[in-house]
Structure 1
Amino acid sequence: MTFTHTFDDHAWAVNTAAGWHRCLDVFDQIVNGHHVEWKENAVELREYYQTAFNEN
């Protein structure tokens, strides 16, 4: 599977990446038959992607 998301405004890259990360974590839980649990990690993920994207 390949997931692609395009957007015109680079300012949304961090939020978009964090959102996809959270959704794919839940997708993994569903595919593997686990109870769905949304982690409260949005702030942490945004910080992670902010750092990752600034280093590139």
Structure 2
Amino acid sequence: MIIVRSEQEIFDLLNQCAEAEETGSSIYPGMIYEQGIKAAIEWLVGDIDNHPINE
């Protein structure tokens, strides 16, 4: 499996996740944990182009 995202893109995503965790807010309150993991992995490997945390 090839990761197509840059280190910076992955770092930015991790920071967004950490911020949401710290504040207790989510722009996807109806999404289950597994859906979020699936979306992130699909984005990392290039299966989807949409950033998993689009605002």
| Fold match (TM-score > 0.5) | no
Greater share of helix residues, 1 or 2? 1
Computing the radius of gyration from Cα coordinates, the structure with the larger value is 1
Q: How high is the TM-score relative to the length of structure 1?
A: 0.38
Q: How high is the TM-score relative to the length of structure 2?
A: 0.39
If asked which structure has higher relative contact order (CA below 8 Å, sep 6+), I would say 2
